[in-house]
Amino acid sequence: MTSIITLRGGLTTQYLLPCTGGYLQVEAGDEKEFSLFLRKLKKAGVDPRQIRYLFLTHHHGDHAGFTSFLREVSGCRVIAHREAAHQLNKGKNAMVPGGGLTNRRALMLGALLVMLRKLNMRYTPVELKEGDMLVEGDDNELLRSLGIPGKILHTPGHTPDSLSLLLDDGSCFCGDAAMSRAQWALGTRYCCIIIDDMEENYRSWRKMIGEGARTFYPAHGAPFTPETLQRHLDYFKQDDLVFVKR
């Protein structure tokens, strides 16, 4: 099996996993970063038409934002959670009642990114088509049918539609279910800056570790180990969230 390609730079990291006939891409990205993404792809020596599937870890704009553009150049099929479909069709981040920002610094960073238009709540709607694959939850067959030795785990908490992709070798592409970027500055203890349900978030950490995750590859930041997550488990409670809508 050819190795996994990591496309760093910009707000969101994409990963290309070899599959039958090409690659499965984990994460799109903010639509303003599409030209940057194409440059990263070219530098990696990959033609967009080699991307056969796009695995969306959830519907947020910095993950699903340039899906429509990527489809135009690659013709790829989308894999996402069924609950993502509605928001993808609208091209809009959902706000879940009760959710909020992990701490005050996360709130400040979130506000700054929105102000600088780095974090966009809206994006070009994704028109789901025949051939796209919506999963209901955990799935141990879909990836294997595409030539990828691994499974899909439903890992809610950051959002209800969050999915992670766990390879049999323990590589776990967790989207925003956990995040390592700027931990020293943010103090979010490996949680993403936005959390819909903190308890569910930690349940998802336990699930990924219990299913055999050995290295986490997040959408934001460098890889980290399960021991790292274990050290920070249950640090926050739902009531700790700030900017909570009640």
Chain residues binding Zn ion by CB under 5 A are: 60, 176
Q: How far is the CB of 104 from Zn ion (least distance, A)?
A: 19
Give yes or no for a contact between 229 and 213, defined as CB atoms under 8 angstroms apart: no
The residue to which tokens 């103090």 are assigned: 187
For 108, the token pair is 């400040």
Q: How far is the CB of 58 from Zn ion (least distance, A)?
A: 6
Q: How far is the CB of 195 from Zn ion (least distance, A)?
A: 10
Nearer to Zn ion, 65 or 226 (CB): 65
Nearer to Zn ion, 67 or 146 (CB): 67
For 28, the token pair is 């799109």
> How big is the CA angle at 146 (ends 79 and 30), to the nearest 5 degrees?
35
Nearer to Zn ion, 60 or 81 (CB): 60
Q: How far is the CB of 60 from Zn ion (least distance, A)?
A: 3
Q: How far is the CB of 1 from Zn ion (least distance, A)?
A: 29
* E strands in 40-162: 51-55, 77-81, 100-101, 133-135, 150-154
> CA nearest 162: which of 148, 177, 141?
177
Q: Give the list of residues 6+ apart from residue 144 with CB closer than 8 angstroms, or none.
A: 150, 151
SS3 223: coil
Nearer to Zn ion, 7 or 56 (CB): 56
DSSP H or E segment with residue 230 = helix 226-232
Nearer to Zn ion, 60 or 151 (CB): 60
